[in-house]
Structure formats: C-alpha cells, structure tokens
Amino acid sequence: MIDQTPAAPTDIDTFFACDLRVATVLACEPNARARKPAYQLTLDFGALGIKTSSAQITERYTPADLIGKQVIAVINFPPRKVAAVVSECLVLAVDSPTGLVTLSVDQVVENGLRVY
C-alpha cells in the first residue's frame, strides 16, 4: 500500500542534516538472511569510500539491473545490522504500485557528490 499521507512540517535545517550522496552500485547479491526480500549492495561513494547497504528493492530490479547504476543514499545515519549485513547507508526509493524505484541522477556524475 502506498502511503500518501504528508509528513509533519519541518524546517530546512532538518533536511540539510541528512547527508544525501550519489553512489555507484559495484556489487549486488541477495541478502539471504533478511526477513523480507532484499539485496546486499556494495556502493562506491568516491572519496567517501565504499559502503554496504541492505535494500528491499527486489521487486523491480535484478542484480544485473543495479550494477553500474548511480543511486542516491543517506550516509550519515548510524550503521544498522540487517540480517547478516551491516547497512552503512540508506538507499532512497519511491514506493510505486510495482515496487520500490530507486532515486538516481539523470546524467552520470562523480560519486560522492552531495544532493541539495
């Protein structure tokens, strides 16, 4: 079910407290121990390093679809263990009727660039 309820009002400082960055997916494999179907992603954030994430984006994407794709992720949340994977960032996506759609850039840019 798609949630159409707007979030509570906030301010611009709260938004900018989230560090959103561009990364390229280097590797993708099923996170076999996750309760809900998910992939373990290895993401290249350029000068910010390589990070892992567990993402529930299996309905619309195969691993081959994701490798080489640039995505947007939040990198300043604390790491969180998801099944056997330490998720170091949160890949952003839109909930559509056919599954989650990752947020991405429409042109290739340098990994690690900040989203404003």
Q: For residue range 57-87, what is the model confidence (pLDDT) as tens digits?
A: 999 999 999 999 999 999 999 999 998 899 9
Among 77, 69, 71, 74, which Cα is nearest to 102's?
71
| Model confidence, pTM | 0.93
Q: Is residue 31 part of a domain?
A: yes
The percent of residues above 70 in pLDDT, for the chain, comes to 99
Q: Give the amino acid at 88.
A: E
Q: Is residue 6 part of a domain?
A: no
Q: Is residue 24 part of a domain?
A: yes
Distances (CA, A) of 76 to 43, 65, 73, 99: 14, 26, 9, 25
Number of domains the chain contains: 1
- Please state, rounded to an integer, the average pLDDT across all residues of the chain: 95
Query: Residue 1: pLDDT above 70?
Result: no
Q: Is residue 116 part of a domain?
A: no
Q: Is residue 37 part of a domain?
A: yes
Look up the domain containing 38 and give its range: 17-102
Is 112 in contact with 105 (CB distance < 8 Å)?
no
Q: Is residue 73 part of a domain?
A: yes
For residue 36, give the CATH number of its domain: 2.40.50.140
Q: Is residue 87 part of a domain?
A: yes
Q: Is residue 34 part of a domain?
A: yes
